[in-house]
Amino acid sequence: MKSYPAGQEPEWLAGAPPIPGPGLEVTTPPVMAGGAWPSLEAIAAEVAGCRKCPLCEGRTNAVPGEGNPRAALMVVGEGPGEQEDLSGRPFVGRAGELLDKILAAIDLPRPEVYIANVVKCRPPRNRAPLPDERAACMPYLHRQIALVRPRVLLALGATAAEALLGVRQTLGSLRLKVHTLDAIPLVVTYHPAALLRNPNWKRPAWDDVRIARQLVDAES
């Protein structure tokens, strides 16, 4: 764990919970390991023309992801919403504004992280992506993770957590543990959209995010 000089500890660390014990240890299945795309730009170009599942029929723009290609923290959400579909960028609506505030509060502003989603096209009516839609898109995400090679992964919401960990479990059962995906620590928390619907979850989500932030320091 990174040590800070006395009196110079960051504000986010005050009252932060300790890093919890281990959870699931997962290795990317070969079928999901992704193609040999040489770069994040190559993945974005592939995603822009992807027609591997029916979600492509309703998209305005594909949303491959964006951010620092050498990010210490990689954030993974469920899929694009209306504003993301229009802009081609992840997390730009109200949930995105909240995510930006959370990241800034842990001294990892948005430009310093990499943000992607499980699926790259908007599901109709913002429903959760179906299993075949997730399966079609996951090779892109796994290759993005391999290229960025972040110190820590932060899964936002049950859909992202289940897709990354390959399990069907409740969000509550996956929180407050340090899982690993291909030896990368992975922390699960609430999706920002859920926090907008239920502000009572903001405090536990803040604890989750501070656990992830401590892991970033621990892995440095």
pLDDT tens digits along 64-76: 999 999 999 999 9
pTM of the model: 0.95
What are the helix (H) ranges across 88-130?
Answer: 94-105
pLDDT at 30: 76
Q: Please give the pLDDT value at position 25.
A: 97
The pLDDT of 26-51, averaged and rounded, is 87
Q: How far apart are CA 175 and CA 117, in angstroms?
A: 19
Mean pLDDT for all residues in the chain: 94
Q: What is the DSSP pairing of strand 114-117 with strand 73-77?
A: parallel
Q: So what's the pLDDT on residue 34?
A: 58
- Tell me: pLDDT of 192 over 90: yes
Task: Look at the block and give the residue holding tokens 């050498």.
Answer: 70
**CA 206/CA 106 separation, integer angstroms:** 9
The predicted structure's pLDDT at residue 73? 98
**Model pLDDT, residue 36:** 83
Say whether pLDDT at 159 is over 70: yes
Other beta carbons less than 10 A from residue 64's beta carbon: 23
Q: Which residue in this structure is represented by tokens 């993974």? A: 76
Tokens 């859909």 -> residue: 159
Does position 31 have pLDDT exceeding 70, yes or no? no
Domain ranges of the chain: 38-218
Domain 38-218, what fold?
Uracil-DNA Glycosylase, subunit E (3.40.470)
* Axis crossing angle, helix 158-165 with helix 131-148, rounded to the nearest 10: 70
Q: Among residues 177, 184, 51, 61, which one has the least CA distance to residue 117?
A: 61
Listed in sequence order, the DSSP H helices in 124-201 are: 131-148, 158-165, 171-174, 192-197
Span 153-181, mean pLDDT?
Answer: 96
pLDDT band at 55 (very low <50, low <70, confident <90, very high): very high
What mean pLDDT comes out for the span 169-186?
96
State yes or no: pLDDT of 32 exceeds 70.
no
Residues composing the chain:
220
